[in-house]
Structures are given as structure tokens and as C-alpha cells.
Amino acid sequence: MANPTTASWRRWHAMNNELRLHCHDVKKSFGRLDVLRGCSFELKESEFVGLVGENGSGKSTLVRCVLGFTQPDSGTVKIKGPVGYCPQENILNRRLRVSEHLKLAEAIYSKYNSINHDFKEKNIDRLRLRPFLKTSIGNLSSGTYQKVKFLTSIYHSPKLIILDEPYDGFDWRMYLVFWEIIQDLKSQGAAIMMISHLIYDRERFDQIFELKEGHLERTK
Amino acid sequence: MREQNKKTSVFSLLYRLTALELLRNKLGLILLFVIPTCFLAVVEWTSGKGFLSIKLFFFKRTEELLIDQREISLVFMSAAVGGFLMSYYAILLFQQDFEYYRYCISMRLSPITFVTSRFCFFFTLVAAMATFITLIMRGMMDFPKIPAALLGFILLGTIYGAYGGIVGIVSKDFMVAILFVVLLANIDAGWLQNPVFYSTSQETEFIRWLPAFFPCQFIFSSVFSGKTNLWALLMSLAYASVLFAALFLAISIKIKGVYHGNNNQA
């Protein structure tokens, strides 16, 4: 992966005011299996992009390459501004309480950007997480666990949000609240990329990319 | 100044959360009391009253001493228990929930802050464990060089803790990691470093290069002969440094990718 120098980085910034994510020709293989065969896409301010594909098509691998969890074999990824990431995996520390996890997230995020406390508190209430703040993460139901993961990814009002099947386990009401929050973030200028399998979400996306045999195809 | 305060707060928060993680591990807490109690109770119950001849290895010379069987077993078992417990806690520190902290690094937690806080807690734990075991031992027998024995247990804890940490980082499965720890701790600290065994062993060359040998010799020399075994101390420090550096390397490799991902952010 390219490691941009300060000068080229500044140039890229200056030239791409609205661009939040630039991903060019990303390739990744696991042994003989070519999962990503050169994926390129861009995400601009207030843009909402869906990433679809069959199980095992490499959607999560692409997201992990973008975020650096997985090192791509080749290609360039450039990200502008703070990122929020809601992973598919149950990655949270089960031995911490929700409040402790959020406190750590806040401490980390506040080093790089200011936290909007009203927005944060509002989302805790919207997601109905306040009664669970003192609960151990290991004791949460799957839906509430998912809400904590989602809240973590938007806690700092990031400019780029990557969501990997974020509403898995949400009840119908919470599913609607989720879309309200997404609309709010979008109106604040956040670029959002979401992996989704639900066909009835199609209309909500500005663009949809399908990952097929290692290549990205724009289907909307 | 403000930036400095923020750095301190993330560090202290991580340190505090690490302590809470361990305290909430009920099995870990139970083992902390059950293992020393069981092992030392068995020593009390089964040890004979006779004296046994044991060897202490100094640089280029060997000293032979006649020591009470109960005292030999007490010190040897304390070392074995200390080594095993520390490697067990190191697995908890460096294996369980490590993915969570990789995720935090992807959220731009400074890897330096994370590694420093983990290592600071690791050394606090080593020191606490060594003090705990030295105090138990002191309560059950008399020996002159308490600070030297404490230092020996700290070195043993660092060596076995670093080993446990490396195993935890490398292995994804907790049970596999435990198996590796039990395997080495059993063969090395729990068997071959028994003064009664190695003193009459035909092949001491192999035993001398196992990780628990030098710290055990330092502890035995301090407790049984009242002498400071400088050679054992220096070699223990060398082992501790090498294993600790290996642990640091293993952690760095594990978080490297996520950190490089952060470098692409502006």
C-alpha cells in the first residue's frame, strides 16, 4: 500500500476537497484465492454508498483493506478526516462495561477531533442505550451489542463511516432509528459506506457497488 | 500541555481498564488463591523431616548443601507456582480481547500508548505476584535475603510472563495457549528445576539452558546459602530482556497493519 509523503498528501488534500475516500486498484489474495482483483472507488462528502455481493465475495476483506486491518497486496487507499467503523465481528471487549468502552472511545477520539456532546448524548437516548451503560458488554443481547458497536462508529461525528451489516439484530423500531441517524450524519456531510444484504434498502443508497469475482461493478 | 494531559488520561484509562479486565476474570482470581494454597498445602502435608543434599550452580563452581526437605519443596514449589501463574495472567493480558485493542488502534488509539500501558501493567502484575509469593514463603519459613528472593521471583515472573505473552499473541485459541504454558511450566519450573531432581541428574547441560534455570538458581542461592549468585542474576536479566524483546516484537507485528492503515488517514 502506498505510504504517502507529507507533500503528496497535502497536494491530494488540496485537490480533493469533497473526497473522503479514494481506493485505487486494491488487490488481495489468500494463497491461490484472488479475493480482490483490483477494486477502485471513491466516496465523496454526503454520499451514501452500498456494497453488496454474495457471501464470501470479499466485501469484508475490502473494508478491512481500506481500514488497514488487512494489508492489501497492492493498490492505494487514501482517507480524509476521522473514520468511524462498525465491524461485522463481535469485536468489543466483553469484560468491560458499556460506559467504560464508550469512555475509552471518547478518550481516543477526542485526541484528534472535538466530540459533539449533544449529538453523543442524543444518540445514546435514540438507541435506548442509557439503561445498559453499567451493563457488562458480555451480558448484552445481540441487538444491544450491535447498537453499542454502531454508536461507537458514529460517536465522534466522523467524516467517513464504514458500516459492515450494522443493523443485524435490530428490532423494527431500532431499524428506523438507525436510518434517522444515518440521514442526520449524511446531512452533516459524512460519507457513508455500508455493506448490506437487504434488498429493500436499495432505494436509500446514492450508489451501489457489487463485488463479483474480485471486481467492483456499479449497479446503481 | 493540553495534549500532554490527554495522552496521560488515555494511558491511565487503559491501565485502569486492564486492571478491571483481570479483576473481572473470576477464574483468574480463583487460581491466584487456589494454586498457591493447594501446592503449598501439599508440600506441608507430604514433606519428610530429613535433610537432602542439593547443588547450587555458581559461575564455574558448584556448591553442595544439606537442606531441610520441606524448605526445598516450599521454595521450589513457590517458584513453579509463580512461573505458571504469571504466564497464565500474561495470556489473559495479551491474548484475550487483543482484537478489541486492534480495533481501538484502527480508531486511532496510539499504539505506543497501548503498548506502554500494557507493559506497565504487566510489570505491576509481576511485582505484585512476586511480592505475594515471597510473603507467603516468608510466612512459612525463615530466610535471610528477602529482597534478593523477591528480585528472583520478579525475574522469573518476567521471563515466564513474557513467554506466556508470546504464546498468547501467536496462538488464537486460548486453550492451545494454556496447553503450551502448562507444557513448559511443568517440564521446566515444575520438574527439571527441582533441586532434588537436578542435583542427581545425569544431564544438567540441557536443564541449565531452560528459561527457569537462572532465576531459580538466583532464588535458591539467596534463600538457602544467603549468597548473591551474580552469574545467575546476569543470565536471568539476559533471558528476561530477550524474551521481553520477543514479546514486544510479536505485539508490534500484530498491530502493525492497523497502524499503517492509520497512516493513510489525514
Concatenate the DSSP letters of all residues of A32-52 into one string. TEEEEEEEEEEEETT-EEEEE
Which residues of chain B does A68 touch, with a Cβ-Cβ cutoff of 8 Å?
106, 257-264
Query: Among all chains, which residue has been given the C-alpha cell 556448591?
Result: B63
From B4's Cα to the closest Cα of chain A, the distance in A is 10
List, for residues A89-131, the tens digit of each pLDDT value.
888 999 999 999 999 999 988 877 777 788 888 999 999 999 9
**Chain A neighbors of B172, CB-CB under 8 A:** none
The whole-model pTM stands at: 0.84
The answer to whether residues A22 and A77 touch, using CB atoms and an 8 Å cutoff, is yes
Mark yes or no for CB contact A1/B260 under 8 Å: yes
pLDDT for residue B125 is more than 50 = yes
Among B75, B97, B73, B81, which Cα is nearest to B182's? Answer: B81
The C-alpha atoms of residue B246 and residue B257 are separated, in whole angstroms, by 18
Of A8-12, A54-58, A65-69, which gets the smallest average pLDDT? A8-12
Q: CA A95 → CA B55, B124, B158, distances in Å? A: 46, 20, 25
pLDDT digits (tens, 9 = 90+) for B158-184: 999 999 999 999 988 889 999 999 888
Q: What does the DSSP assignment read for A64-106?
A: HHHHTSS--SEEEEEE-S-EEEE-SS--S-TTSBHHHHHHHHH
Judge contact between A43 and A20, C-beta under 8 A: yes
User: Would you say residue A3 has pLDDT above 50?
Assistant: no
Distance from first CA to last CA of chain B, Å, rounded?
23
pLDDT at B8: 53
Mutate to test the interface with B, among A61, A99, A104 (most CBs of B within 10 A): A104
Report chain B residues whose CB lies below 8 A from the CB of A82. 108, 265
Q: Cell for A73? A: 497486496
pLDDT at A12 over 80: no
Q: In percent, how much of chain A has pLDDT > 70?
A: 91
Residue B119 scores a pLDDT above 50? yes
Average pLDDT value for residue range B3-9 = 56
Q: What is the mean pLDDT of residues B4-13?
A: 71
Residue B108: pLDDT over 90: no
Residue A56 pLDDT exceeds 80: yes
Q: What is the value of ipTM here, to two decimals?
A: 0.81
Measured in angstroms, the CA of B27 and the nearest CA of chain A are apart by 13
Mutate to test the interface with B, among A8, A76, A93, A152 (most CBs of B within 10 A): A93
- Chain A contacts of B260, Cβ < 8 Å? 1, 3, 68, 71
Q: What angle do CA A200, A203, A208 make, to 5 degrees?
A: 100
Cell of B201: 541428574
Pairing of strands A215-218, B51-58: unpaired
Note whether A108 contacts B10, CB cutoff 8 Å: yes
Whether B107 and A77 lie within 8 Å, measured CB to CB = no
